Amino acid sequence: MMMAAETLVRLRAAAGAAGWSEDAAEIAPLLIDWRDKYKGATPLLLKPNSVEAIAAIVRVCAETRTAIVPQGGNTGLVGGQTPSAQGNEVLLSLRRMNRVRNVDALGNTMTLEAGVVLADAQEAANGAGRLFPLSLASEGSATIGGLISTNAGGTGVLAFGTMRELVLGLEAVLPDGRVWHGLSALRKDNTGYDLKQLFIGAEGTLGIVTAATLNLFAKPAAIETAFAAVPTVQAAVELLSSAQAHGGTVTAFELMPRIGLEFVLRHVPGTRDPLAAAHPWYVLIDISLKAGEATGVAADVLVEAANKSLILDGVVAQSQAQARALWKLREDLSGAQKPEGGSIKHDVSVPVSAIPAFIERAGAAVATLVPGARPVPFGHIGDGNIHFNISQPVGADTQAFLARWNEVSRAVHDIVVHDFNGSISAEHGVGQMKVDEIARYKSAEAIDMMRSIKQALDPLNIMNPGKVVRVRPPV
């Protein structure tokens, strides 16, 4: 279905002079995701820089039944930000909505527009002597609106929660083009249904987030970073519980398998094993301290853990440079899987205490399906969130391995859901990638409620249709 020329004229007028583009060279990079999995098409890029212009655009969309796909930094991993390949949806970039509207240091809040890049948001907080704790690999590109719409996680969730916990209020353009002025700096408000919760994690299917008021925190006076080898995943889970009983706050607790460390040491120049011998599993720990809090906590944690036989060896960073080097091992883990060939990836969560059993059972299932395949389970163990990635067998054909993605994923997801009541998308969302997969695993009651909400709030099905929940069969 082509879009009527008259509709495009009206949309351009609504966006204003510098608020749109039909330049294929400008649009092209926004139509493909960074993993190269989804490729969309659109006749028109809209890039307004005011909530009024976005409201005007959405009014035209509603009147003309035109589907609209919002996009922030285009760092999503499930195709939520990519329009359909049929070219019948307009793309709305929020990147020019990038003002910091307010920072209230004493009140510990800041109000930002949706297009502010996460790194800039962190810096706005930092400049006011405060911490905005959300942190993830794509923070140089990902925007606040996208992070809210996908309820982003990252490494700070253990202490500060996902984006959902960091949002106090929202401003959003509703599917009929009205503006919901829900910005609020309140910590408590029980005047009815908590509407902002609907937009957080909805991936633009219920409306377009244009601004948010976010929670800020005191900056830590110091962060102690430790890297320790553990004999088992169970020991890692127990070490977390033990570390949390010490002073300071455990602000990151990441799990890595030996094979993952080997990938990094092999493929990333300048990295080295922090420990003398090889061990089966590792954890990377950040402990944040406030002014006046006793230091040396990380060392205490490791000594106690060694006494309880929870760790085999460990080091505490003695400088910021050493801490950065330890973190680099974790951050390069995704990239270091690429030179090892195909990787079938899963972003799953289970209850924290079930992580050891899950990793074992999923690994066994994969070994049966694809003998020689190499699981590289890593991630945010304190959140129960494991990136259960599987590298191809050494020397195997990459395409043949990747062709088995759905079969392998089905086996892993079956274990996640049926054995552990877990989630098949812990932090990346649903998008296009998992819209049919979640319908398979969620109950009929849950899918029906999602569909009822979508139909109630977006009866024309123009807001990022086909993402998160289908209200009509796919064309």
Interacting residues with a second copy between 105 and 124 (CB under 8 A): 106-109
Segments in 250-354 forming alpha helices (H): 258-267, 297-307, 320-331
The angle at the Cα of 258, spanning 253 to 259, to the nearest 5 degrees, equals 120
Distance of alpha carbon 57 from alpha carbon 22, whole angstroms:
16
Near a second copy in 18-57, by CB under 8 A:
none
Of the candidates 92, 24, 28, the one whose C-alpha atom is nearest the C-alpha of residue 56 is 92
Nearer to a second copy, 4 or 446 (CB): 446
Q: Contacting a second copy (CB under 8 A), which of 443, 472, 473, 475?
A: 443
Residue 296 has, within 13 A of its CA and on its CB side, a CA count of 4
Q: What is the nearest approach in angstroms of a second copy to the Cβ of residue 352?
A: 5
Nearer to a second copy, 8 or 350 (CB): 350
Q: Does 426 bind a second copy (CB under 8 A)?
A: yes
Kindly give the pairing relationship between strand 385-391 and strand 347-349: antiparallel
Range 262-300 burial, b when 16+ CB lie within 10 A, else e: ebbeeebeebebbbeeebebbbbbbbbbeeeeeeebbeb
> Binding pattern to a second copy, positions 122-161, x when CB under 8 A?
----------------------------xx-x---x---x
Distance of alpha carbon 224 from alpha carbon 201, whole angstroms:
32
Nearer to a second copy, 231 or 247 (CB): 247
List of residues 6+ apart from 5 with CB closer than 8 A: none
Q: Does 61 bind a second copy (CB under 8 A)?
A: no
Q: Which two tokens stand for residue 402?
A: 């990747």
Q: Contacting a second copy (CB under 8 A), which of 31, 430, 433, 463?
A: 430
Asked if 225 and 284 count as a contact pair (C-beta separation under 8 A), the reply is yes
What type of residue is 34? W
CA distances from 266 to 54, 241, 271, 388, 473 (A): 48, 32, 9, 20, 46
Q: Does 59 bind a second copy (CB under 8 A)?
A: no
Q: What is the nearest approach in angstroms of a second copy to the Cβ of residue 221?
A: 8
Distance of alpha carbon 391 from alpha carbon 343, whole angstroms:
4
Nearer to a second copy, 79 or 429 (CB): 429
Nearer to a second copy, 198 or 325 (CB): 198
> Binding pattern to a second copy, positions 331-370, x when CB under 8 A?
------------------xxxxxx----------------
Q: Contacting a second copy (CB under 8 A), which of 20, 282, 388, 441?
A: 441
Beta-bridge mates of residue 412? none
Largest CA distance in the chain: 74
Asked if 370 and 401 count as a contact pair (C-beta separation under 8 A), the reply is yes
Dihedral angle of Cα 377, 371, 411, 202, to the nearest 10 degrees = 40
Q: Does 427 bind a second copy (CB under 8 A)?
A: yes
Q: What is the nearest approach in angstroms of a second copy to the Cβ of residue 441?
A: 7
Q: Does 449 bind a second copy (CB under 8 A)?
A: yes
Q: Contacting a second copy (CB under 8 A), which of 291, 318, 319, 395?
A: 291
Nearer to a second copy, 166 or 284 (CB): 166
Q: Does 233 bind a second copy (CB under 8 A)?
A: no
Q: What is the nearest approach in angstroms of a second copy to the Cβ of residue 216?
A: 11
Q: Does 385 bind a second copy (CB under 8 A)?
A: yes
Q: Does 276 bind a second copy (CB under 8 A)?
A: no
List of residues 6+ apart from 52 with CB closer than 8 A: none
Near a second copy in 187-226, by CB under 8 A:
187-195, 197-198, 200-202, 206, 218
Q: Contacting a second copy (CB under 8 A), which of 22, 126, 140, 241?
A: 241
